[in-house]
Amino acid sequence: MASILTNSSAMAALQTLRSISSGMEDTQNRISSGLRVGSASDNAAYWSIATTMRSDNAALSSVTDALGMGAAKVDTAYSGMQAAIDVVTEIKAKIVAATEEGVDAAKVQGEIDQLQEQLLSVAQSASFNGENWIAGAAATKTVVTGFVRDSAGAVSVKTTNYALTDAANGTLLFTDATAGTGGVLGTAQGNGNTVATLNISAMTAAQLANALTDVESALTAMTSAASSLGSISTRIDLQEDFVAELSDSIERGIGRLVDADMNEESTRLKALQTQQQLAIQALSIANSDSQNILSLFR
């Protein structure tokens, strides 16, 4: 039936054109944003997962910064400890030299005095951002090593602790680097000799032997402390590599969930553009039917 009031063909063509236009709008949004799931209305489940994982990735970025800070502190302490070990090794060599007959112990002590001053300088300067891990008060230092989300969704920050101890066999060189007291170098070792104040000028052979033993004890403690610092440094390096890889993996996982396939979207857009042109032509043809009714009255 031909009607000038109801054009069913035009209505169908218009509905098709609206559907195509809506599809084109969605496709253009995906192309412009690069996202297949840009909001919760696109896919609530994927959007929720992606949003949570982006948040975790931001936390991992902060962990990377914290790891860098921790690495700097540990490396500074290790460098200071290694430098102190080298100086104490020199003191040990001077004591051995003083045991030879005919050696002027007073002159050797003059060299040891300079080395002892160097120990204080090393301990005072091994500081990063105001923290000194080889000189100062006994404490426990903490380094951030990771961010974890468990199977229940609970989040936590993982840390590694390093104890700064002030005993003769501890990890601190001095508890007071200005006065040169306390710690491995400022505390008397087993035979009563203190590395920081050791004076061999008037020592007998037996006393020199005891002094050598005490210096060796201090070296053993310092070596142990350096080993611990080295282990923490290695762990931080490994964790930095892991966090970087984990962050990349999470980013790729998010991309698989929400990123648009640009090749697919480009193909879809071209198809929709073609469909739109055909729909416009169909609507034009449907609208022309009403004009054809006029010919019936000519």
Q: What is the 3-state secondary structure (H, E, C) of the chain?
A: CCCCCCCHHHHHHHHHHHHHHHHHHHHHHHHHHCECCCCCCCCHHHHHHHHHHHHHHHHHHHHHHHHHHHHHHHHHHHHHHHHHHHHHHHHHHHHHHHCCCCCCHHHHHHHHHHHHHHHHHHHHHCEECCEECCECCCEEEEEEEEEEECCCCCEEEEEEEEEECCCCCCCCCECECCCCEEHHHHCCCCCCCCHHHCCCCCCCHHHHHHHHHHHHHHHHHHHHHHHHHHHHHHHHHHHHHHHHHHHHHHHHHHHHHHECCHHHHHHHHHHHHHHHHHHHHHHHHHHHHHHHHHHHHC
Q: Is 25 domain-assigned?
A: no
Quick one: 109 and 236 in the same domain?
yes
Residue 224 lies in a domain: yes
- pTM exceeds cut of 0.85: no
pLDDT of residue 190: 95
pLDDT at 293 over 70: no
Q: What is the pLDDT of residue 113?
A: 97
Statement to judge: residues 165 and 287 lie in one domain:
no
pLDDT tens digits along 194-216: 999 999 999 999 999 999 999 99
Same domain, 229 and 274: no
Range of the domain at 273: 262-298
- Report the pLDDT value the prediction gives residue 290, as an integer from 0 to 100: 64
The answer to whether the beta carbons of residues 247 and 65 sit under 8 Å apart is no
Q: Tell whether 205 is covered by a domain.
A: yes
My answer on whether 194 and 281 are in the same domain is no
Is residue 293 located within the same domain as residue 198? no
In a domain, 51, yes or no: yes
**Are residue 212 and residue 270 in the same domain, yes or no?**
no
* 217 and 287 part of one domain: no
Number of domains in the chain: 2
Together in a domain, 73 and 180: yes
Q: Which domain CATH number covers 142? A: 1.20.1330.10
pLDDT in tens, 60-71: 888 888 899 999
